[in-house]
Amino acid sequence: MILSLEKREFFRWLDSDLTDPGTKQELAGLLTGDSPSSVSNRGESFPPVDEEAVFDRFHCGLSFGTAGLRGKMRAGLNGMNVYTVGQATQGMANLIVSSGPSAMKAGVVIAHDCRNHSREFAERSAEILAANGIRVYLFESLRPTPELSFAIGYLRCTAGINITASHNPKQDNGFKAYWSDGAQIDNTLARAVSEEMRKTDILTGVKRIPLAEAIATGLVSIIGEEIDQRYLETILAELVDPEIVKQAAGSLRIVYTPLHGTGYRLVPEVLSRIGVTHLYPVPEQMIPDGDFPTVERPNPQYPEVFRLGIDIAQKEQADLIIATDPDADRVGVMAKGKDGIFSCLTGNQMGVLLLDYIIQSLRRLGKLPRNPYAVRSIVSTPMADRVCEANGVRMLTSYTGFRFIALRINEMQNSGNPDGFLLAFEESYGYLRGSYAKDKDGVVTSMLITEMAAFYRLRGMTLIDAMEEMYRKYGACLDRTDEVLVSDAEKKNRILSGLRENPPATLGGEAVCEISDYLSGICRNVSTGAVSRLPFEPSDVLSFRCESGTSVMIRPSGTEPKIKIYISVSSASLAGAEERMASCRRDTARWS
């Protein structure tokens, strides 16, 4: 019988002595009919299988990109399991070994989140690295993603591995790869790891020794408390005005939820250290749990995850509710308005609020650096540019993702401006202040949001009031991210290629004046035809801009089967901005 490549690999996994019993049992569930699943019982015959399921799991492996691996936890090449994690780890090990003994000795630090199998995957990675002679520092239990980034620099490691799928659904998990600067690996390193993975047989080509043996030989060290304390001390140094929270402590009331994730311990600890005395955790969500039993999607950008927190906030008359995602790198907030109703602040709004607060407070304290700058992703609100322009601060932009933001920060620090960095943010609820890490940090952000809330509390204002003040001060700017689900790459390419061939002439009734295609690197003035080069590497992003400042950007998601459309509109009044936003959304809805 001639088998397809997918079936051949399926039966190899099913029959191999290297495949664990649990995986074999899962794969045997894809057999159909009454034929025996054991190769020893069936000889050369091959029973029928669920063709679609086998193809889905074995037609290709998970793609290893700059964010590493991410996918559903299941057996097969196209799933997150100990074998795909092992192949990725062996690929990183080969790269580190090729870098020489000093890179191997500097080693790798490994962390993981609360998800099912995360600890198992983290330990498997440690066993493989140790078998390759590489020093390993393994966190004793779950830790926030930003602490992993910090630990790489603190321990002076060559690389880092984090087992997490961030805010994805509970079925998913991921393998994030970091390099010595504390940022996620770049395209060059990702390609190198991918090539090493391609050369490594997923079942027979991965080296491994038992974890207990690796610990006994000194190749693996278990870490935890010392790193926690150094990390917290470093975060506390990023307070803008250490006295603010203490002054407001008597009246400031905050509800916090880690959404069953890694922020459950360190966020309350840092808030306590800055002087918060009225902190109300959401009890049901303080328990780490990879099934996320109280939320459908553990993502702090969705209002529904605040349901339990709102009940507590109303009971305790709290000012705001802070939520971090499962790996504690993102932060979402609900704040109380004058009417007593809690409303969500978007990632863009929080970025503007934090940026303005940091600038004004540092100026008031006489601590604003000589050449201050901030960084935002290209799809984040241009309102931040107005804040910077009005205050003599330089705004830099980068592609979406903190790896790219980290590159801009590194460039500035290496060019002789090590102390000018104020804040980096992206609209997807990620923020960073300080250079101790090169990834977004929900722990430091929770602290800064609390400090800012205390500042406005002392002025008799909530963060909702503060945002309204921002609109009066800098003009009304509204931002929205819409998503288009795409069932396959063909549909995604059809939408983007269609916009390249027939770009919109108007948005919200206003003429498009500038079109930027980040894939070709060309920015074109529609009226004059003049073109200029964009200062970015090629990426599948399109941008359309109008004279009023209205802009729409569109790009495919790097982690989910969807296309994201970012709309930003400006107007003299909030009502005018809302009308313009509605009109633009009617136009972009036709794109899908």
Active site members: 166
Q: How many CB atoms lie within 10 A of CB 134?
A: 24
In whole angstroms, what is the distance from residue 553 CA to residue 189 CA?
A: 28
Residue 480's SS3 state is strand
Sheet containing 136-139: order of strands: 69-72, 172-179, 159-163, 108-112, 136-139, 220-223
In whole angstroms, what is the distance from residue 529 CA to residue 267 CA?
A: 52
Q: What are the beta bridge partners of residue 335?
A: 320, 343
Structural contact between residues 344 and 438, judged by C-beta atoms closer than 8 angstroms: no
Q: Among 177, 237, 167, which Cα is nearest to 429's? A: 167
Q: What are the beta bridge partners of residue 73?
A: 80
In whole angstroms, what is the distance from residue 170 CA to residue 405 CA?
A: 28
How many C-alpha atoms does 551 have within 13 Å on its Cβ side?
Answer: 17
Longest CA–CA separation in the chain, Å: 81
In whole angstroms, what is the distance from residue 332 CA to residue 114 CA?
A: 19
Structural contact between residues 178 and 145, judged by C-beta atoms closer than 8 angstroms: no
Q: Among 169, 165, 81, 168, which Cα is nearest to 125's? A: 81
Cα 162 from chain centre: 12
Q: Among 197, 14, 202, which Cα is nearest to 3's? A: 14
Q: Return the structure tokens found at 157.
A: 């490691």
Residue 349's SS3 state is helix
In whole angstroms, what is the distance from residue 45 CA to residue 36 CA?
A: 10
